[in-house]
Structure 1
């Protein structure tokens, strides 16, 4: 296979949680037909670079202060909600005057105007590329037309990879923004067929892919859930929803499905399997974690929005150790930032909160268990211990390889393994807060980008080997 081009320099990935590869010596990545066809490091990389240059192959050399990373994978984002990102996060989720009622539902309803949806969705895709997101698992609106438009504009833009869900809801929504059950199922099947017909090539991961999307249990009748489960099975679709997100959601769902947890309901209707991406899951009840693990379902960890709506922090390290897959998401607009760098930083801070304690006799409260204590009774490490800590490099794993594994695409996305698609970011550290203070090592350079970086640091973005964004 003839080489298309190659990158030489600090090419870093995280093939496993806790492992960072490519910081100690320069790497060379050869890209052919959108895939990584060769990877070598150290002296071998230097020799291979020389050979390729002699053969006339373009070798793109990373400059001092630059690093190449796999593209970021956003596991949970609501595209219509870009319109009000940064607003409403001081409100309760499900109150009659809360986040959903005042902001989310009216804004999503406005996507029924197809031309407006087209403008919003094009802008949202552009924002994600500027932030370095090369794959996004997306919630659209209830509208079939707007959902098809999202597929169209993603194909037109050639990135990021768009796993698109036409949201389904047939109860407990505003009268002007709710579906009839049969129409929801019919539109969902139409959307699945349309999206699958737009895919090009014969191999996953496709640039666009349909996602079966019951909004969450309070807005979905058993009949709708049953029908969506059958459609997901019939067409082999990814599934996404919100699961055990907040105290008010869990309590309301319990009145609708007495005696069953969120996970049990999704499982009953064939909507908890691999691959499926369940948002939040901060308020997991006993047995839900095990159902997720047994079925290969993943959690889309949205730490920033969890601070505002979930009243808790997800014990990511504990879940990963017990075999539950965890991705990372921005959750626009429950989370106000579309940047996966912000999501990484928020994930690290959220993990820190699991260790918060008051000493005995403290003036600010009584000594109590950490939020994860009850869920950790049988864990290897006690809740709130250093085992809960998440490093910034581990958060990078969640944003890349972890997201790919959650989608059952770890063999094709999220790392620089030979055979993976070349979805990648060229990042620079010479701008922003760190510009005047260069790092003393490659590891510190990468850490500075993760902790201080923003879209100004994203110099180039590639999807399937094609340059889709450049500063």
Structure 2
């Protein structure tokens, strides 16, 4: 794979080592002893085996990766509540709707305080980057200025992000944490306008109705128009619990389904990502496929709040785009490696219930965490794998980090052999953690380790 315009491209860096990624046709492709060139715009220029692909000056910019390390694409978190990071890992003793009213809404109301927001948002962006999340789709809160601050912080640290100001005009349990339809409409427009004026290279706004239970039909209609008029992404929640599905039917009795509520308000598009979907029907999944909308699978949250277990195989069989999400703080971990593990666990639990069930393979889940996530967010033209022309979003992985090799029983001779990188032994997500991630790159720029700012 090489660039068609080699002589006109300036090479910024060349990396030599093993590259592991997914393609549309192969769940895990392992490219050993390759040279990957990154141009001055941060895009993959070429990935090949011969120095002849690079101008002479490019050959002086090579970075050698030791034989025990490899590169993989950055991971894509398709659903995370940045505003809930402050209590991640606690308060998981209630089912979803009671959990929201008891813990989530009171905490989110605090984000009118910009210093509070700055502190939490700085921590969550740094933590997710350190864990290898190069792209994040964030829920913020109803507060416009705090949501803009989250976008600024993601930009400052170099993370690729979709940032959403939450919209909700129905909240009878915490009355001071809601908007009128007019306020939500006007503030969403202000948020989008001010975010776009910043012209951040990697951070974009996303239209964010919290979910149908917290939005009137009038507000949903306004948000559908805003997304359509500005060609924006849309994110929300759908069919997380059976109780939620039942209440949506009661509130919107004239619609065929939960999915139909979004569809009829122009909120189900090829730029829509809906979190959870544990209880979607086959008919709803057909509508997802028809409209090009995607599902964010959040297994940690689904299990922690006892919401349900998404049958990811059924979603894939319907040819619906599927990515993974941490769903902090319903999910207690901000790590996409945890999302990978929990996805495998959920699939195996479904197999325990039905021995005929086709369990997801690790290779499939690796693709969901990388290329699948970029497809779910309609960002796969820019990121997701090492295809020539895409941005170099990458992790340099050191499998010899703490615990990992000891737990696998891998010896040095295996590490340096090609067999170490066979899909059956490929080690990072099942047993690694952030300590195995040596460097993180977004659009060709190294963003981890962090550079201390003045």
In structure 2, the CA distance between the partners of 1:188 and 1:397, relative to structure 1 (3 Å rule), is same
Question: Aligned-pair distance for 1:412?
Answer: 1.5
Structure 1: gaps (5+ residues): 201-205, 358-369, 371-383
Cα pair 2:11 2:58 within 8 Å, conserved: no
Given candidates 67, 92, 99, the residue that maps to 1:64 is 67
Given candidates 273, 276, 279, the residue that maps to 2:272 is 276
Q: Does 1:34 align with 2:6?
A: no
Per-residue CA deviations over 1:131-186 (Å, capped at 9, x if unaligned) read 0000000000000110111111122222x111000000001251111111100110
Cα pair 2:171 2:177 within 8 Å, conserved: no
Q: Does 1:5 align with 2:9?
A: no
Cross-structure match for 1:312: 308
RMSD of aligned residue pairs (Cα, Å)? 1.8
The separation in 2 between residues aligned to 1:319 and 1:208, in whole angstroms, is: 28
TM-score by length of 2: 0.91
In structure 2, the CA distance between the partners of 1:55 and 1:222, relative to structure 1 (3 Å rule), is closer
Cross-structure match for 1:380: none
Cα pair 1:226 1:269 within 8 Å, conserved: yes
Question: Aligned-pair distance for 1:61?
Answer: 1.4
The separation in 2 between residues aligned to 1:55 and 1:131, in whole angstroms, is: 30
Matches within 5 A, 1:205-216: 206-216=201-211
Matches within 5 A, 1:84-103: 84-95=87-98, 99-103=99-103
Matches within 5 A, 1:39-188: 39-40=47-48, 45-48=49-52, 56-95=59-98, 99-158=99-158, 160-173=159-172, 174-188=174-188
The separation in 1 between residues aligned to 2:433 and 2:131, in whole angstroms, is: 7
Cross-structure match for 1:190: 190
Cross-structure match for 1:366: none
Q: Does 1:403 align with 2:411?
A: no
Question: Aligned-pair distance for 1:322?
Answer: 2.0
The separation in 2 between residues aligned to 1:59 and 1:464, in whole angstroms, is: 18
The separation in 2 between residues aligned to 1:444 and 1:221, in whole angstroms, is: 48
The separation in 2 between residues aligned to 1:267 and 1:181, in whole angstroms, is: 19
The separation in 1 between residues aligned to 2:34 and 2:240, in whole angstroms, is: 41
The separation in 1 between residues aligned to 2:378 and 2:252, in whole angstroms, is: 30
Q: Does 1:325 align with 2:337?
A: no
In structure 2, the CA distance between the partners of 1:432 and 1:48, relative to structure 1 (3 Å rule), is farther
Cα pair 1:52 1:58 within 8 Å, conserved: no
Cα pair 1:67 1:446 within 8 Å, conserved: no
The separation in 2 between residues aligned to 1:91 and 1:52, in whole angstroms, is: 60
Question: Aligned-pair distance for 1:211?
Answer: 0.5
Q: Does 1:334 align with 2:330?
A: yes
In structure 2, the CA distance between the partners of 1:442 and 1:230, relative to structure 1 (3 Å rule), is same
Cα pair 1:438 1:445 within 8 Å, conserved: no
Per-residue CA deviations over 1:365-411 (Å, capped at 9, x if unaligned) read xxxxx5xxxxxxxxxxxxx6342x11122111011100111122222
TM-score by length of 1: 0.88
Aligned pairs, number: 430
Cα pair 2:27 2:366 within 8 Å, conserved: no
Cross-structure match for 1:460: 439
Structure 2: gaps (5+ residues): 1-8, 415-419
Cross-structure match for 2:4: none
Cα pair 1:81 1:108 within 8 Å, conserved: yes
Which moved further from structure 2: 263-272 or 310-319? 310-319
